[in-house]
Amino acid sequence: RVHEHDWRQSGGPGWNVLLGRLDSFTSSKADAENLPGPFDGLDVLRAKFRNATLDDTTDLVALSGGHTFGRVQCQFVTGRLYNFSGTNQPDPTLDATYRAFLSQRCPRNGDGTSLNDLDPTTPDNFDKNYFTNLEVNRGFLQSDQELKSDPGAAGTTAPIVDRFAGSQEAFFSSFVTSMIKMGNIRPVTDPSQGEVRNRCAFVNSN
């Protein structure tokens, strides 16, 4: 089977995966709308994690570290570049040099689907640089930078960002714990309710 992302191939940690988990035959618009979004504030992100039986500090920060690699479309940053929260100003928690770089790649009326690296430092490596980026206001998404810069982050998520920025071991260890927890949220195990998909994004009958 081909995996779209292989954490270990990119330098990330591994863990044992429980057998018997199935992919669903269906998808749910309502569930999709419950997912955390890139423009959610810290309080909303925390509430959504709690509602999903994850904790609203360590799990939130560790799992957001998945943004240490991969790509993201311009449409998710143009608000931060040109008109943050309707102010017609950029997001003040976005580093000026990084903003100038992103403005070149994502012009105001450009193609909102153009792709960018989530982690401009080491775009294809699974490492702690997602967190070192947040330390210098180089998070791509609002939902990324909030973990460090939201006024409510000081006593909650920011100290965890700091800890992971300082220790890749601490990040990897929490990431594994949180991935296992996330994988245990209502898994489908009844074969009448699911299957092992040959291609992640399609049911096998397609």
Ligand X SMILES: *[C@@H]1O[C@H](CO)[C@@H](O)[C@H](O)[C@H]1NC(C)=O
CA–CA distances in Å: residue 121 to residues 62, 118, 139? 18, 9, 11
88 is a site residue for ligand X (CB under 6 A): yes
DSSP conformation letters of 140-200: SSHHHHHHHHSGGGTTTTHHHHHHHHH-HHHHHHHHHHHHHHHHTSS-B--TTTEE--SBT
- Cα 160 from Cα 111, distance rounded (Å): 35
For ligand X, the closer of residues 19 and 35 by Cβ is 35
Smallest separation, CB 149 to ligand HEM (Å): 15
Enumerate the known binding-site residues for substrate: 36
* Residue from 44, 52, 73, 93 binding ligand HEM (CB under 6 A): 73
Residue 134 interface partner, choices ligand HEM, ligand X, none, CB cut-off 5-8 Å depending on type: none
Any contact of residue 21 with ligand HEM (CB under 6 A)? Answer: no
Span from 7-15, 66-74, 120-128, 186-194 in contact with ligand HEM (CB under 6 A): 66-74
- Secondary structure letter of residue 111 according to DSSP: -
Work out how close the CB of 166 gets to ligand X at its nearest, in angstroms, rounded to a whole number: 33
Q: Is 86 a binder of ligand X (CB under 6 A)?
A: yes
